[in-house]
């Protein structure tokens, strides 16, 4: 008597234990990989036969897929991009300084969170302004040179 194949709808996975389900998954995964490999080999052989029947060269048809040209970005030198400065890496003078260590702002770019929070509490931005020392130094040097 011949055995009848069982369809996926006829299987009752609810009756299987976790270990049995894991074994089913592993076996199904391996079987799927094997069938895909068989289908790939069959497709390659079928394609080779059709190309040969037409008197064509498979390398001429699919050579660009087998040995693709290098990507365009690999041929051109990389362009330099501006890197974003981290706090303290800027050459710009600090215009605002918070009471906690590391809370500084040059006055450029997005308002830092620490200053936004203080302003939300009702404090004024000018409370955190750093006195401009650089222009005083320049003026003193000019007076000494004169």
The range of the structural domain enclosing residue 18 comes to: 13-74
Half-sphere exposure of 26 (CA within 13 A, CB side): 6
Residue 73, φ and ψ in degrees, nearest 5:
-65, -25
In a domain, 47, yes or no: yes
CA distance 105 to 98: 9
Same domain? 67 vs 110: no
Q: How would you write the pLDDT of the chain (146 residues) with one tens digit per residue? A: 678 888 888 888 899 999 999 999 999 999 999 999 999 999 989 988 888 898 888 777 777 776 666 776 655 666 666 655 555 556 888 899 988 888 899 989 899 999 999 999 999 999 899 886 544 444 555 555 55
In a domain, 33, yes or no: yes
Q: What pLDDT score was predicted for residue 137?
A: 43
In the chain, how many domains are there?
2
* Neighbouring residues of 113: CB distance < 8 A, sequence distance ≥ 6: none
In a domain, 84, yes or no: no
Domain boundary (44, 74, 104) is at: 74
Same domain? 64 vs 104: no
Record the tokens describing residue 90, joined without a space.
Answer: 């800027």
């Amino acid at each position: 008597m011949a055995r009848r194949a069982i369809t996926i709808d006829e299987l009752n996975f609810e009756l299987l234990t976790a270990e049995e389900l894991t074994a089913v998954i592993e076996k199904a995964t391996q079987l799927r990989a094997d069938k895909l490999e068989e289908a790939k080999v069959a497709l390659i052989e079928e394609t080779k036969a059709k190309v040969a029947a037409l008197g064509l060269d498979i390398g001429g048809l699919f050579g660009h897929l087998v040995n693709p040209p290098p990507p365009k970005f690999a041929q051109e030198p990389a362009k330099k991009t501006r890197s974003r400065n981290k706090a303290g890496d800027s050459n710009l003078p600090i215009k605002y300084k918070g009471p906690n260590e590391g809370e500084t702002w040059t006055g450029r770019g997005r308002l830092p969170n620490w200053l936004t929070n203080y302003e939300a509490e009702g404090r004024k931005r000018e409370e955190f302004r750093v006195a401009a020392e650089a222009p005083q130094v320049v003026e003193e040097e000019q007076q000494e040179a004169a």
